[in-house]
């Protein structure tokens, strides 16, 4: 918020982000926008859910049920209103071998256990660790996911060849499809400039679908992928043996799926939060995702997590409240129950055009401009996470990015340790080393190399006012330095250890500290160091 923002304008924005004004009256414009955004998202969810079900090797309804149940529960109880969840490709690729080797019932049992693990992550508030993901990793995640969404749309340009396989479109079919995709993108671009009465993607899908249906244009439609007709999902306990052998089969898959689902969901939560200017909700999102997947497993769904593509469609269409996600799930159920014949007539080109616009809006184009200006390590992390996201999956990419970023930080922090020395004014004949920078495993060796006991006087003081003792490696480094001075028959003293450093030293078995606080400086005073003991001075 800028200094020039009028109070009335700020109040208007706040009211625009809720369903109820101060008079507790329903905010009809936002309600209408959320419902229309939900309809747009539901239309885009159908081919995605069907395609991911094919990837996992299960019936299309298994993917559609997952999109409905996961989407409904997370929309109602998740950590970020406006975020959309459902069946995703990142999870589907992990499920392939499980379904192929053990069958779909084992998948349902795995999804139930996956949900329980995610609930545990929410109870123990593990979602807060998403804060450890550096910004370069987020940029790589966004860019990689945009590329993955783009590549996923390429499958819509393949057609059955009549022999059980698929072949790429060609000839007039290809050119007509490309023209419809371009028309869809053009309508999405132009609609907000003409009116904001309804979401631009919904207008584009409706116009292109009407043209294709009226003129009977021969292009692939949703019904060419699979039928989306079905009934209500029915409750059923997964038909698997309740034995330890079954547990050992499904547990590894459950852990991997839970990790991938939470990572993708929490990163999407952060991304949507940046757009909607909202924070928090990580633990709540973990709980909601876990509950959604547990329920999905008992109702014949393949499980799911947050979907960045559909979330971007919803947010860019004006969906800000929970009603948008709830509407998307309910519209999807309506398509399955009563609207399948209409939905199956929608041309895939219209949905591809919508997703292409999502790709354009999702990709962090500014990251290309800053690559030459940010530190080389950060530029490398952006490109690395992008590449690994495309080549492998999101979870691996994020873990790799965080590890590389942590190593780079440790290397840089290790080079910060330094020492300058001067003669002490309070201790005649003593030399004081002013230590600067953190002392931890990365800087421990460099720390030891800073001192030359043979050249120092009989009394040496290490002043830690500009440093911190971080870990066991730091304690070992201090002890190693103490041993060198002790072997040289010289006296070593520690000064200005902070309270947390003192506690760390005290917890070390062989290093005992008697602390006497300086009430003004709030740091501990000098400590004599003898081999195996640190005592108060």
Q: At what angle do helices 308-316 and 322-337 cross, to 10 degrees?
A: 110
User: What is residue 524's DSSP assignment?
Assistant: B
- Note down pLDDT in tens along the chain; length 537 residues: 444 444 344 334 334 443 333 434 457 888 899 999 999 999 989 988 888 888 888 999 999 999 999 999 999 999 888 899 999 888 888 898 899 999 999 999 999 999 999 999 999 998 888 878 888 998 898 898 889 888 888 888 887 766 667 788 888 989 999 999 999 999 999 998 888 888 888 899 999 999 999 999 999 988 887 888 999 999 999 999 999 999 999 999 999 999 989 988 998 888 888 877 777 788 999 999 999 999 999 999 999 999 988 998 999 888 888 999 999 999 999 999 998 888 889 999 998 898 898 889 888 888 888 898 889 999 999 999 999 988 887 778 888 999 999 999 999 988 899 999 989 887 788 999 999 999 999 999 999 999 999 999 999 989 888 998 888 888 889 888 988 998 999 888 888 876 767 666 666 544 444 344 343 434 444 555 544 444 434
CA proximity to 335, closest of 63, 104, 77, 30: 63
134 with 221, same domain: the answer is yes
pLDDT digits (tens, 9 = 90+) for 30-57: 889 999 999 999 998 998 888 888 888 8
CB 236 within 8 A of CB 300: yes
Residue 531 has a pLDDT of: 47
Domain assignment of residue 381, yes or no: yes
427 with 460, same domain: the answer is yes
Half-sphere exposure of 360 (CA within 13 A, CB side): 11
DSSP characters for 137-191? HHHHHHHHHHHHHHHHHGGGGEEE-SSSSEEE--HHHHHHHHHHHHHHHHHHHHH
198 with 258, same domain: the answer is yes
**Among 305, 338, 370, where does a domain finish?**
370
Q: Give me the phi and psi of 280, to 5 degrees please.
A: 85, -175
- Rounded to whole angstroms, the Cα distance separating 528 from 514 reads 10
User: What is residue 223's DSSP assignment?
Assistant: H
Domain assignment of residue 430, yes or no: yes
Residue 517 has a pLDDT of: 38
68 with 48, same domain: the answer is yes
Domain assignment of residue 19, yes or no: no
- Rounded to whole angstroms, the Cα distance separating 225 from 246 reads 33
Could you tell me which residues are beta bridge partners of residue 530?
533
Pairing verdict, β 430-439 and 459-469:
parallel
Domain assignment of residue 337, yes or no: yes
- Rounded to whole angstroms, the Cα distance separating 57 from 61 reads 12
DSSP characters for 310-376? HHHHHHHTT--SHHHHHHHHHHHHHHHHT-HHHHTTSBHHHHHHHHHHHHHHHS-THHHHHTTTS-H
Domain assignment of residue 6, yes or no: no
- Rounded to whole angstroms, the Cα distance separating 131 from 189 reads 34
Domain assignment of residue 21, yes or no: no
51 with 181, same domain: the answer is yes
235 with 203, same domain: the answer is yes
Structure-block tokens of residue 16: 């625009």
401 with 479, same domain: the answer is no
- Rounded to whole angstroms, the Cα distance separating 128 from 311 reads 21
Those residues with Cβ within 8 angstroms of residue 410's Cβ, 6 or more apart along the chain or in another chain? 440, 441, 442
- Rounded to whole angstroms, the Cα distance separating 356 from 189 reads 12
CB 468 within 8 A of CB 439: yes
What b-and-e string marks burial along 36-49, b requiring 16 or more CB atoms within 10 Å of the CB? bbbbbbbbbbbbbb
480 with 508, same domain: the answer is yes
383 with 483, same domain: the answer is no
- Rounded to whole angstroms, the Cα distance separating 516 from 525 reads 6
Structure-block tokens of residue 245: 């052998």
CB 328 within 8 A of CB 304: no
Task: Give Dmax (Cα) for the chain.
Answer: 99
CB 58 within 8 A of CB 107: yes
Which structural domain, as residue segments, surrounds residue 85? 30-159+168-370
Domain assignment of residue 1, yes or no: no
Residue 534: in which H helix or E strand, if any? Answer: strand 533-536
CATH for 524: 3.30.750.24
CA proximity to 286, closest of 308, 316, 265: 265
Pairing verdict, β 527-530 and 491-495:
antiparallel
Residue 504 has a pLDDT of: 66
Could you tell me which residues are beta bridge partners of residue 534?
529
How many domains would you assign to the chain?
Answer: 3
410 with 428, same domain: the answer is no
Q: Count other C-beta atoms under 10 Å from residue 226's C-beta.
A: 19
129 with 87, same domain: the answer is yes
Residue 80 has a pLDDT of: 86
Residue 529 has a pLDDT of: 55
272 with 398, same domain: the answer is no
Domain assignment of residue 90, yes or no: yes
**Among 390, 414, 438, where does a domain finish?**
414
CA proximity to 91, closest of 53, 146, 38, 35: 53
CB 294 within 8 A of CB 120: no
C-alpha to C-alpha distances, 457 to 34, 139, 420, 425, 435, nearest whole angstrom: 76, 53, 15, 14, 18
Those residues with Cβ within 8 angstroms of residue 226's Cβ, 6 or more apart along the chain or in another chain? 50, 54, 60
**Among 345, 370, 395, where does a domain finish?**
370
3-state SS assignment for residue 113: helix
Residue 130 has a pLDDT of: 80
From its phi and psi, is residue 288 left (phi > 0), alpha (psi between -120 and 50) or beta?
alpha
Those residues with Cβ within 8 angstroms of residue 376's Cβ, 6 or more apart along the chain or in another chain? none
């Amino acid at each position: 918020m800028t200094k020039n923002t009028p109070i009335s304008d700020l109040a208007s924005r706040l009211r625009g982000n809720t369903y109820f004004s101060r008079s507790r009256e329903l905010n009809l414009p936002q309600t209408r926008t959320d419902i229309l955004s939900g309809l747009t998202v539901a239309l885009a969810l159908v081919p995605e859910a069907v395609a991911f079900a094919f990837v996992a090797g299960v019936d299309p309804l298994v993917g559609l049920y997952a999109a409905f149940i996961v989407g409904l529960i997370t929309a109602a109880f998740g950590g970020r209103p406006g975020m959309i969840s459902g069946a995703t490709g990142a999870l589907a690729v992990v499920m392939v071998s499980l379904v192929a080797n053990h069958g779909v019932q084992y998948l349902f049992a795995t999804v139930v256990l996956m949900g329980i693990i995610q609930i545990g992550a929410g109870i123990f508030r593990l979602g807060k660790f998403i804060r450890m993901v550096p910004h370069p990793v987020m940029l790589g995640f966004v860019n990689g996911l945009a590329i993955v969404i783009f590549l996923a749309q390429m499958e819509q340009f393949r057609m059955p060849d009549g022999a059980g396989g698929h072949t790429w479109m060609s000839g007039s079919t290809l050119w007509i499809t490309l023209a419809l995709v371009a028309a869809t993108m053009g309508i999405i671009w132009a609609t907000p400039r003409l009116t904001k009465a309804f979401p631009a993607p919904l207008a584009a899908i409706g116009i292109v679908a009407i043209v294709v249906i009226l003129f009977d244009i021969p292009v692939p439609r949703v019904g060419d992928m699979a039928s989306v007709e079905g009934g209500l999902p029915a409750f059923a306990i997964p038909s698997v043996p309740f034995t330890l052998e079954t547990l050992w089969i499904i547990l590894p898959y459950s852990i991997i799926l839970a990790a991938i689902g939470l990572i993708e969901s929490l990163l999407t939560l952060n991304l949507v939060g940046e757009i909607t200017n909202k924070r928090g909700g990580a633990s709540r999102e973990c709980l909601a995702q876990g509950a959604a997947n547990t329920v999905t497993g008992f109702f014949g769904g393949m499980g799911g997590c947050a979907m960045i593509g559909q979330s971007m469609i919803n947010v860019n269409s004006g969906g800000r409240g929970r009603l948008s996600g709830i509407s998307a799930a309910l519209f999807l159920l309506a398509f399955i129950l009563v609207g399948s014949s209409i939905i199956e007539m929608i041309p895939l080109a219209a949905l591809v055009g919508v997703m292409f616009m999502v790709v354009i809006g999702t990709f962090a184009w500014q990251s290309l401009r800053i690559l030459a200006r940010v530190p080389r390590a950060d530029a490398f992390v952006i490109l690395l996470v992008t590449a690994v996201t495309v080549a492998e999956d999101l979870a691996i990419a994020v873990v790799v990015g965080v590890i590389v970023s942590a190593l780079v930080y440790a290397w840089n922090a290790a080079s910060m340790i330094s020492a300058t020395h001067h003669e002490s004014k309070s201790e005649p004949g003593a030399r004081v080393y002013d230590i600067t920078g953190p002392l931890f495993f990365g800087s421990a060796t460099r720390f030891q190399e800073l001192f030359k006991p043979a050249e120092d006087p009989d009394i040496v003081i290490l002043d830690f006012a500009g440093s911190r003792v971080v870990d066991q490696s730091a304690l070992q480094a201090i002890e190693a330095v103490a041993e060198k001075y002790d072997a040289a028959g010289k006296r070593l003293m520690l000064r200005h250890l902070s309270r947390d450093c003192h506690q760390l030293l005290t917890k070390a078995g062989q290093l005992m500290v008697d602390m006497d606080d300086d009430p003004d400086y709030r740091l501990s005073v000098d400590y004599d160091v003898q081999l195996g003991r640190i005592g108060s001075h």
